[in-house]
Amino acid sequence: MNPNLKEQFRKIGARVKFVFVDTEERIGFTRVNHPPASLDVVEDKEGEIFQINIRKDVSKTLDISVLEVLPKDKHLVLLARQTDEEGKAISKDHFLCGHDERHLFVAGVDKVSTVAAAKASLKPAEILSLETGITNEKRNRRKTKVFKRQGEWFFIPAALVANPALILNDEPMRRNKRSKAHIAEFAYRTGGENVRVCSQYPNGLTQKEYKTLIAENPNAKYFNWRDMKRNASLYVKGKIRHADHATVHLDTWHRVLMNTERFPESITVVFLD
């Protein structure tokens, strides 16, 4: 481990600690393999702190270093590099760590070495294509002429005529079960794929996949299934509220896009409603 890591985090006004974890973890009925290194924001008696989780079996072949730190911007890019016995890289995971409004945050990013590139890698391709002519400084604001942002969600103005009967009130938006919901005063959904979801299959099964499962395992029909939409287009307007962020006000309909945070191969993220 790099002995200067704590000092690098101190430069952005944050603390860091290390925790060693097992190779896998059981979540419900599923066993999830831990990546060589992962990051969380947790709390202790002194407040929020970055926690670097290191898998015990690779701890001796894992190098964690800071590629760039920007004290004024309060962000840094962290690299977790696993090597083999000959010192050759087996895997590389990059993380952006910093402050977002009221709290610390961490996000898995592309294989980049600068804070600016890390922030850009979190933006959906559609937003990047619309930012022509906007300075780098303005691109990183939470409100630009292209979008408004609240946490991991981007809102782009859209020409939409919504069916009043299908408009939802105080609708929650979540990346996954672990994340706190962002609440949209008004929401409207179109398109998407019909799936059946339960705790054993959190990303959902199509009707064909569901029938195949039941044929192979008849007891699966007793799982607590719910009918949901996967990756539907979501539009919102009005107040967008979240406990950790300032309220965003949208006077017209905006299409919702999620940031492109990278996750370990053992974790798959889809948008379910």
Q: State pTM to two decimals.
A: 0.78
- Express each pLDDT in 42-69 by its tens digit: 999 999 999 999 999 888 889 999 999 9
Asked whether residue 116 carries a pLDDT value surpassing 50, the answer given is yes
Query: Domain spans of the chain?
Result: 5-122, 123-192+231-273
pLDDT band at residue 214, thresholds of 50, 70 and 90?
A: very high
Q: Determine the Cα–Cα distance for residues 122 and 149; give it in Å rounded to an integer.
A: 12
Q: Determine the Cα–Cα distance for residues 6 and 47; give it in Å rounded to an integer.
A: 16
Asked whether residue 98 carries a pLDDT value surpassing 90, the answer given is yes
- Check if the beta carbon of residue 251 is closer than 8 Å to that of residue 237: yes
- Express each pLDDT in 120-170 by its tens digit: 999 999 999 998 888 877 888 889 999 999 999 999 999 999 999 999 999
Q: Which alpha helices (H) appear in 131-192, and where do they start and end?
A: 136-139
